[in-house]
Structure 1
Amino acid sequence: MENKSNNSGLKAAVVVLALLFLGSVGYIFKLNSENKETVTTLTTEKNTLAEELKAKIAEYDTMIADNTALKDELQAEQAKMVALLEQVEKSKGDTAAMAKYKNEYFRLKREMDNLVAENKVLKEQNVALTSSLDSTNVVLSDAKKFNDTLLTQNEGLTKTVEKGSKLAVLNLKVLAVKQKGSGKQIETDKASRADVLKVSFLIAENQIAKTGSREYYVQIIDSKSNILGEKKTVPTGDKTLTYSFISTVKYENKTVQVNEEVPGKDFAKGTYFVNVFDKNAELVSKTSFELK
């Protein structure tokens, strides 16, 4: 009876031990499964965080290339991201460390978001400034074109006024005459009889010309290429002008008749040429005549 009772107790103890063993095995299996799941989750989080950090670092490269005003701040924040990435990649992936890295990442991301917003504002301001400068340049360009046009018009007007203010010398004529003892002059076309050449011309009326004294150089060249009269010279740039006489005229914007005489003797037969030059030695009138 006693043996049966002992066997029953032994069996009960074995059952209890068996149950405890099975429970322990199940618990250990559960712990291993949970640990593997935790390691997998932490590894995934680590890899995800590393990829996000790399993406943000690349975004910083783009902003640094585009913005010189915030370059120092952008580079400083990027360096923090790079340092955090190095820590994450070296990490063994424990829960506490990953929590710390995530918090640091979110803090750096907030700083980055602030810089992105500031960068956007600066870009908009640059666009507005560029547009304003373009508009200003257009205005300045238009103003320069207008001024250039005015300058061209003024130069053209000045030239027109200068051209219009020049005095016209008209009706240049030369008569050969024989001077009588009584003072009477008889016109002749005979070289042997002539002893005076009478030169006459008109200075036309011009209301925009300046008034005052005007000088004209008259040059008479005979058929033998001799210059008659005073035969004096004046410089004309790199050359000289030899003239027969100077006619000084007082001009007051009205037509002026000019009459001059050149005495002579033994005039040569042939064609004579007469030229009139202004004070700038510019030819303003010419004619010719013949003595037989």
Structure 2
Amino acid sequence: MESQKSNSSLKAIIVVLAILLVGSLAYMYKMSTDNEKIEKGHLSEKETLVKELEAAKESYDAAIAENTGLKGDLETERAKIVELLEKVKKADGTTASLAHYRTDYIKLKREHDQLIAQVKKLKEENGSLTTQRDSSRTALDESKRYIDTLATKNDNLSKTVEKAQKLSLVNLKAQSFKERSSGKLVETEKARRVDVIKISFTIAANEVATAGDKQYYVQVIDPKNNVIGEKKTESFGDSSLTYSFITNATYQNKNMEVSQTVKGEDFAKGLYTVNVFDKGVAVANSTFTLK
């Protein structure tokens, strides 16, 4: 009788151990499957970011090959893309590292889109001028007796086109700093530490634009929709503009870097908007965030 009880107990123990063993194997299989899915997800995200960076690099290569007036800026931004691409390729593929590199790429992508748009615009403008020049030459060839008249008209047309060209602003950036007692600026994105905002942009080279003194109104708007800085107002016809500061530049038809700072205190956390105006007309805008 006792032998039967012992056998029953032994069988019960074996059954329990078997159930536990099956449960453990199932749990280990699930954990292995979940980890594999996570790793594949990270790998896929990394591959996507690599492809996007390679596409941006190829876009810069094509633009540089056209030898535009923005070649220097294009080569500078391309170098940044190449540098980030190498970092991403060497990254371990964790969520934290990919998120950091994705943020860097978004900033570089904004610069890429602005520069490529400028390249396209300059190409179209040059094409338009070339078409006008060719048309004038055809007219001169067809009727030599009107050469003086046509030459005068062509000269007037060139002057009209030159005056009509609007300068383009690219690479509009905003950087936030903490100013130390020594006067040294230390870059930071923490709102509670910021007391200086530096605004910079490039006036793109344009051979048909009029050289000389240029004046731009810069407007920096905080997350509460308030204009920071001088907060002065200028009227342009029926409209008015409240600006943070005015920046002046002597333009010589070449790429020209312009920068100026805005001091303040108690900067709020959130998204800031930067607008640049040529008199009352908006010509560039960008955003930045303080944490």
TM-score range, shorter chain: 0.3 to 0.5
TM-score by length of 2: 0.45
Q: Computing the radius of gyration over CA atoms, which structure comes out larger, 1 or 2?
A: 1
TM-score by length of 1: 0.45
